[in-house]
Each structure stands twice: as C-alpha cells, then as structure tokens.
Amino acid sequence: MTTREIFDSMEYGPAPESDAEARDWIATRGPDFGHFIDGGFTDAGQGFAAKNPATGEEIARLTQGSAHDVEVAVAAAAKAFSKWSKLPGHARAKYLYALARLLQKHARLFAVLETLDNGKPIRESRDIDVPLAQRHFYYHAGLAQLMDSEMPGHAPLGVCGQIIPWNFPLLMLAWKIAPALAAGNTVVLKPAEYTSLTALLFADICREAGLPKGVVNIVTGDGATGEALVTHPDVAKIAFTGSTAVGRRIREATAGSGKSLTLELGGKSPYIVFDDADIDSAIEGLVDAIWFNQGQVCCAGSRLLVQESIAEDFHARLKARMDKLRVGDPLDKCIDVGALVDPVQHQTITRMVEANTEGEVYRAQVPMPEQGCFYPPTLITGLSPAAPLMQDEIFGPVLVSTTFRTPSEAVELANNTRYGLAATLWSENLNLALDIAPKLAAGVVWVNATNLFDAAAPFGGVRESGFGREGGWEGLSAYLKPKAKLTPRKPVAPVPAPDTVEAPGLDRTAKMYVGGKQARPDSGYSRPVWSKRGQLLGHAGLGNRKDIRNAVEAARGAAGWSRTTGHLRAQILYYIAENLSARADEFAARLRALTTTSAARAEAEVEASIARLFTYAAWADKFDGGVKSVPIRGVAMAMREPVGIIGALAPEEAPLLGAVSLIAPAIAMGNRVVLVPSAPYPLAATDLYQVLDTSDVPGGVVNIVTGDPADLAPALAGHLEVDALWNFSASDQAMIDAASAGNLKRVWAPEGNPDWLGGDGEGRAFLEAATEVKTIWVPYGE
C-alpha cells in the first residue's frame, strides 16, 4: 500500500515490528533447545517443533522431557531448596527485583518472541503480557521483603511443580514462579508444548540475575512430561493452569499423595449488559473480553447476556464494531486479532461451531489472511441457555449471546454454568451493579470494565474453574503452610461390647440431625456405644449415602445463612456457647464416660469448646477482605465469601472439641455444614443437637450424620453439591481426593491433626479454608 493510497482510504498502513532480535536469540541459543536444569541448559534431545502459528514456519526445536529429565530437575530443585528456603526475605526479594528489572530490560525481545511463538498481536504482548509479568516480579519482590514480618509462623512447601498453558506463556510463568520463589520454594516448571520459547528466554535471565542454581528449573515437553512432574514423590505442590479435563486428571493423579494443589481451570464467563449501560463502552469492552488474545483466555467474556430491550440495537452495533477489527500478521502493530496458537485449536473451534444447530452465526466482514492459523471474529445470537455452545468453553474468538429481562434472570443465566471463573457486568447504576456482583458465582467480577489483572488482586475460580488464588497475599499463602505441631491421624476403634452385660441400661438411640430435626437413619440400623467400663451409653445411627444426600439437601435449603450478616452469626455462636456452658457438667460427664478420660481433661475439653465458639463468634465479623492497591483509578475489592456447603469429617479424638472446632469456623463464615462426627465416640456430637436447637441455629445450617466414615466419606466427597471437604479423621485420604475430583471440590486435609486444646486447633487456617476470595473491580471516573 502506498502512502497516497493510505491517504485516500484512511486505512491503517502496515506497521511491522522487526523480529530480527528474537530470531537472533533463537539462532544463538538454539535453534535446538534442551531443558534448563540446575542453572544450565542441557543438550537438546528428541523432541518437537516450535512453530510460528501465523505462518506455520518451524522456528525452533524443543526437547520432549522424559521422566528422567523430570527426576534430575526435581533433584536439583530439592537440593536448592535447603538453602533458598532459609534465605532471609530480603535476599530473595533482591533476586525477584533483579528478575523484574531484567524482564523490563529485555521487554521488547520477550514481546516479539512471545508473538512469534504464540501468534498473539504484538500490541498485546508488548502492552499487556510483558508489563504484567514485570509487575508480578516487582510485586512479589515486595512480598518476599515483607513476608518475615507479615506472615510469621509460615513455612514454604518445598519443590513446586508448575504446569502452564499456552495462552499467556510468559505471564502464566510469572504468576507461578514469582510467588513460589517469594515464599521460599524452588520450582520445576513445564511450559505448554506449543509455547516454550519465552520460558527458555526467562531461564536465560535467571542466569543473568545470578539466581542460585536449581531454584528455577524448566523442563519442556507435552502432557506426558507434565504427568511425570505431577506424580513425582518429591514434589510438594502442583500448581496448574489449563483445561478442566486435565485439572481433574491431576486431582486424581495426586490423590492421597499429600501434595498441595491449586488449579486454575476453564471458564464460560458471562458478560452482562443492562439496558442502562454505557453501550459504546460495553461494546469496546467486548472487544477486550472475547477478541483479546483471539478469545484464548480462561476468563474471556465468552457468554454475552444482554437485556432484551436493547438487544437488537446492541447486536447491530456490535456487528458494526466487529467489521472494523483487523485480523492478520501478529507482528503488525495495527492488528487487533492475531493467529490461533495451533491448527489443532483451529480444528476444535471449527468443529464446535459447525456442530451448532441453533441461532444465527455472524462472522466479521473483514479481510482474512490467506494462510496461517486465523479464525474470524464470530458472534452467535439466539442460543438457548442449554445449547452446547452456551455451556462449553470454545476457547476461541467466538462470542455466544442470549437475552434476559430482569436482573434476577440475568443472575440465574449467568450462574447457569458448571464454571465460575469471572464475570463482567455493565450498568451505569452502581447500586444495581453492586447488588448483582456478590450474587455471581465467580472468583473475579469486573464492573464496567473487563479483563483487568494485577499482581495485587487475587485471581482464581470457584466450582469447576478450580481452586486457589493467584496474586496478592492470598496467592502467596497458597505457597506456604502454617508451622503447626501436628500429629499423624490414626484410626481409633470403638470400645467393644463387654463379655457380659449386667444392666442393659436404657435404649437411647441418637438419631441423625438433618435440617434442624432429628431423623432416623435410612438404614434403620444403629450400633451400641459402650463405655470402657462395660456400660451401654446409647446407640448411634448408622448413616448411609441416603442420609448424606438428605443432609446435603437440607444444607442446600439453608442457603439464606450465607447471606446473613457476620454480626448475626456472631450472636448465634455466642448463644451456642452460652447454652453449652449451661450444660457443661453434663457434657464433661459424657466425655468421661465415652473416652475414659480424666475429669480434668473432660472439663478442659468442654471449656475449650466454649472458648472456641467465642473465638469464631469474634471472628464472624472480623475476618475481613481488603481493598487492593491496583494501578487503576478505582478499587479492587477482595471480598471473603463462604465456600458454600462444607462436608467435615471430625477427628476421632477430642469428640466434642473436634466437632466444634470444625463446625464453628465453617458457620461463622456463612457456610452450611454436614458433619460426620468421631466414629468411636459419636455421642459427644449428637448431644449437641439440643444445644443447637435452643440457640437459634436455622435448620439445615448444621447437619450431623453418624456412622462408619468408610461409608460416609466417599458419599460426602463424591457429592456434586458439596463444595469443600475437610478431613480430620483417619479416613482414606486417597479415596477422598479421588472422589472429590467430580466437581473439583476444595479438599482441606492438613498433614496431621493439631492438639485441639492448643492454639493450632483454631485460627486463620480454618477461616481461610472456610472462605473464598472474590475480587470485584470497580473503576471510577469518566
């Protein structure tokens, strides 16, 4: 195009970015790359090609990491851990700061290499990916600096295995490596097979920064390499970002291993436009929501929900805007939409869209490149909520749309998904927006903006979008564990029946406690509970899967509890404490009879239970969220929300205090609980029914199902409406982890149990497990 023609047409002329420096780096360091292990690059081995998706050209060759490579890398990371973890925070901060500075120094090289390898527009890699990655290292240099004073009593986990996707190769690396290193862990990172080059360039700057050998290791390869990392016994934590299917497999593969796990998975995030929205801004927002990075964004606003009264006009304006998008050479600075990462993704998207039989498909009327992996910006309107394209993640530049009439219908449609990563809403009425935001099942909500990210703002999902947060203090804590004194859990057998029973005693069968009422066990069976002195103390119902289902149903019915105020919950917890206190002697006597403990110990357990209820009554309105210092004109509010329905397996020991230690933090934070009490000593918990009844605890908030945990734990862990499972019993952890993969519920099972009478039996760790952070971004001003 000549300058004259450009003047005539007022079209953008081409503005290509030079790739010479990036190609030079590839030629010098490669073009055949090995892994980065123990501070050096290994020789290149058998592997696969790295391609430029915009042209199909092979630009480098990568090594397929074997189980042996993973072994060597994990060993290097384990060796480095002993020194790195003991460095003062300030020493680690200096390294993280150096990495941030070097990312800044080589910013252009990183941006061009990213675009060459991934196909994303240079404008995005230059202005978004690379600056956000730098910011992440700066921010975490600060966390490392402050950690010793701000998070005392915490320890790093060890070697972290980190597996990242191809959509934000450098940025996801930064999200993973910066907090892990700040917290004192060492890392083996596996980049995605389509996009490993910026990770290898990052390895280069680790050397330049003088990072101690083995602190960061990078092993390239495909899913098989990832699997070797996931199953390596010396890896203490797996942090994964990628598809929900692989996340689920990782949950299963790590079952029972004791590894920490955070999963950041897929989404089908709603983009809600109310009729009073600033329409032009909402349309511009959609360009960022679904055509940013060709829609290959886990939190892409891929499901447009637009208020019916403005839908026609909105779609018309949207189509006009789509026709102005420029699709083409990603290295051209004027390009809006680049290439998809690989022909495989192209085929997947094409197949999904072709399989759709509903609605109306509109493709942007724009010139498309003749070759390369490009897909036109697409809008599909008129889909029913259950249509596969409304439910399944397309992970491409395809927006699906439907309409709603009322705000409550918008919430219902928005939440009609198995995912819960992000949501966007547009309305000039902040009152409405701030009413809707807390009602959305999402870890991140953007009000009148979209796809805002920052190192200070926690990011992550609920439901099948995974668990754990990245960013902020919250993200750092996912790489730390409390330094608590724990004792391994072990089963305690019930007291056997005596040989001869002298006085049969009264037949008192404790029932289940479901929905605020006592309920007979579905099985109709119960078991006698004996004291060690041969006295029959009562019978405890033998619950089964059906009882668990009823209890979860009741908990679901008590959803209103999650909307109550902290103040109200505090009052009720104080009331429980007061009523327990009134019957303290009775409970102490019961504990003595059940466990043949000393009178002093039984009294201490009751007193500690009362104190614990006070503790969580106190916390109910004080476990605050925060307003994060993000670099926008506006606020990012990190709100703590209840997790939902928590299944809790109480410890065998301390049968009253153990149960109270789980119930109290859970309900203080607004959760509903299904508790399986101590298997050998269930009657300490069943005695609580009357205390709960007289303390104004609404029916369904606390449900108690007695029985054999071997029967009840799988039912609870496998139940799709239970959001989290806490295990402090000796139940089979591997089974619990594997069963929980179904709906990717949050499993909390520390390495052992605390001394329940001591300080480790309560506190922040319990409150954190009982809550999930939702980050609500509200920019302000014009």
- Give the binding site for ligand NAI (CB under 6 A): 163-167, 190, 192-193, 222-223, 226-227, 230, 241-243, 246, 249-250, 265-266, 298, 345, 348, 393, 395
Closer to ligand NAI by Cβ: residue 37 or 143? 37
In which region does residue 208 sit, left (phi positive, over 0), alpha (psi from -120 to 50) or beta (all else)?
alpha
Q: In the bound complex, what is the minimum distance in angstroms from residue 41's beta carbon to ligand NAI?
A: 20
Closer to ligand NAI by Cβ: residue 139 or 166? 166
Rounded Cα distance between 389 and 773, Å, is 28
Return the number of other C-beta atoms located less than 10 Å from residue 709's C-beta.
24
Q: In the bound complex, what is the minimum distance in angstroms from residue 223's beta carbon to ligand NAI?
A: 3
Q: Give every CB contact of residue 287 below 8 A, 6+ residues apart in sequence.
A: 321, 325, 336
**Pairing of β 536-541 and β 526-530:** antiparallel
Closer to ligand NAI by Cβ: residue 260 or 345? 345
Could you give the count of Cα atoms lying within 13 Å of 15 in the half-sphere of its Cβ? Answer: 12
Q: In the bound complex, what is the minimum distance in angstroms from residue 205's beta carbon to ligand NAI?
A: 21
Among 571, 496, 561, which Cα is nearest to 534's?
A: 496
Among 266, 235, 216, which Cα is nearest to 84's?
A: 216
Rounded Cα distance between 415 and 441, Å, is 6
Q: Are 465 and 266 in contact (CB under 8 A)?
A: yes
Closer to ligand NAI by Cβ: residue 242 or 359? 242
**Pairing of β 444-447 and β 301-307:** unpaired
Q: Are 469 and 453 in contact (CB under 8 A)?
A: no
Q: In the bound complex, what is the minimum distance in angstroms from residue 251's beta carbon to ligand NAI?
A: 11
Closer to ligand NAI by Cβ: residue 297 or 645? 297
Closer to ligand NAI by Cβ: residue 329 or 393? 393
Q: In the bound complex, what is the minimum distance in angstroms from residue 226's beta carbon to ligand NAI?
A: 2
Rounded Cα distance between 180 and 217, Å, is 13
Closer to ligand NAI by Cβ: residue 82 or 347? 347
Q: Are 332 and 369 in contact (CB under 8 A)?
A: no
Q: Give every CB contact of residue 215 below 8 A, 6+ residues apart in sequence.
A: 77, 80, 84, 95, 181, 186, 187, 206
Q: In the bound complex, what is the minimum distance in angstroms from residue 521's beta carbon to ligand NAI?
A: 41
Closer to ligand NAI by Cβ: residue 145 or 345? 345
In degrees and rounded to multiples of 5, residue 8 shows phi and psi of: -65, -50
Closer to ligand NAI by Cβ: residue 392 or 621? 392
In degrees and rounded to multiples of 5, residue 439 shows phi and psi of: -85, -10
Q: Are 210 and 98 in contact (CB under 8 A)?
A: yes
Q: Give every CB contact of residue 105 below 8 A, 6+ residues apart in sequence.
A: none
Give me the sign of the Cα torsion angle 139, 141, 143, 145. negative
Rounded Cα distance between 163 and 178, Å, is 14
Give me the sign of the Cα torsion angle 424, 425, 428, 433. negative
Among 614, 610, 634, 630, which Cα is nearest to 622's?
A: 614
> Residue 663 CA to chain centroid, in angstroms?
23
264 is catalytic: yes
Q: In the bound complex, what is the minimum distance in angstroms from residue 761's beta carbon to ligand NAI?
A: 36
Q: In the bound complex, what is the minimum distance in angstroms from residue 444's beta carbon to ligand NAI?
A: 13
Q: H/E/C letters for each residue in 548-564?
A: HHHHHHHHHHCHHHHHC
Closer to ligand NAI by Cβ: residue 141 or 380? 380
Q: In the bound complex, what is the minimum distance in angstroms from residue 319's beta carbon to ligand NAI?
A: 25
Rounded Cα distance between 75 and 70, Å, is 8
Q: In the bound complex, what is the minimum distance in angstroms from residue 317's beta carbon to ligand NAI?
A: 29
Among 664, 616, 615, 623, which Cα is nearest to 641's?
A: 623
Closer to ligand NAI by Cβ: residue 446 or 766? 446
> 525-563 b/e with 16+ CB inside 10 Å = b?
ebbbbbeeeeebbbbbbbbbbebbbbbbebbebbeebbe
One-letter identity of residue 147: M
Report the residue number whose CB is nearest to ligand NAI.
226
Q: In the bound complex, what is the minimum distance in angstroms from residue 230's beta carbon to ligand NAI?
A: 5
Rounded Cα distance between 221 and 738, Å, is 26
Return the H-helix or E-strand segment holding 334. Answer: none
Q: Which of 17, 193, 264, 653 is catalytic?
A: 264
Closer to ligand NAI by Cβ: residue 192 or 608? 192
Q: In the bound complex, what is the minimum distance in angstroms from residue 229's beta carbon to ligand NAI?
A: 7
Catalytic residues: 264
